[in-house]
A = this chain, B = another copy of it.
Amino acid sequence: MPNSDPPSDTRLMFELFNEIGIIEQLSRTAFEAVMTDGMTLPQFSVLNHLVRVGDGRTPLAIARAFQVPKTSMSHTLAKLDQADLIEMRPNPEDGRGKLVFITAKGRAARESAIHALAPEIAQILPVFTVQEAAALLPGLRKLREFLDKARDPL
C-alpha cells in the first residue's frame, strides 16, 4: 500500500500555516470580544493603518497593504464611512478614484480601541515577551514577502 503521508518538510509547513491560522482565529475573536462598539478587526486595522502611514490613500492601495481583494476592502471602507470614521473624497488626480481620510471620530475610535486593547496586551507580555515577538517578526515578514510575490496580482 502506498504511503499516504506527505514528506516531513511538507508536514512542517502545514503545521506552520496551521498555527498561523489558529492564532489569527484566536486573536480576531479576542479582539472583537473586547470591543464594546461593533468595531471589527479589519475596521480597526484600516484605521490604524491610516494613522500610521498617513491618510489620503486610495482604496486599492489600502487593499494591497492588507492583501485582501478590493471588493472586500470596499465593504470594510463602506462600513467605516457609514459610521463616520473615515471620509471618502474624490481623487483630484484621477476621476475614477477616491481618497480615504480618517475623521476626528475615526481617530478617537482608534484610540479608544487601543485603550481597550492595552490590558490584553499587558496580559500577554509577561508570558510572551516583546523579545519573543521581535524574534518572530523577521521570519514572518520573509514568509509574507514570499507569498506576496508569488501571488497573482490583486
Contacts and interface: CB of A to CB of B under 8 A. Distances in A.
Contacts of A84: none
Given A26-B147, A48-B14, A135 B124 contact: no
A51 interface: yes
A124 B139 contact: no
Contacts of A124: 13, 143, 146, 150
Nearest to A15: B137
A21 interface: yes
- Chain A interface size, as a band, is 35 or more
Contact of A132 (B24, B121, B142): B142
A142 to B, nearest CB: 6
Contact of A21 (B6, B15, B45): B45
A117 interface: yes
A13 to B, nearest CB: 5
Interface in A88-144: 107, 110-111, 114, 117-118, 121, 123-125, 127-128, 130, 132-137, 139-144
Interface of A: 4, 6, 9-10, 12-30, 33, 41, 45, 48, 51, 66-68, 107, 110-111, 114, 117-118, 121, 123-125, 127-128, 130, 132-137, 139-144, 146-148, 150-152
Closest 10 CB pairs of A and B: A26-B147, A24-B24, A19-B140, A136-B139, A6-B114, A16-B133, A17-B27, A23-B144, A22-B67, A9-B130
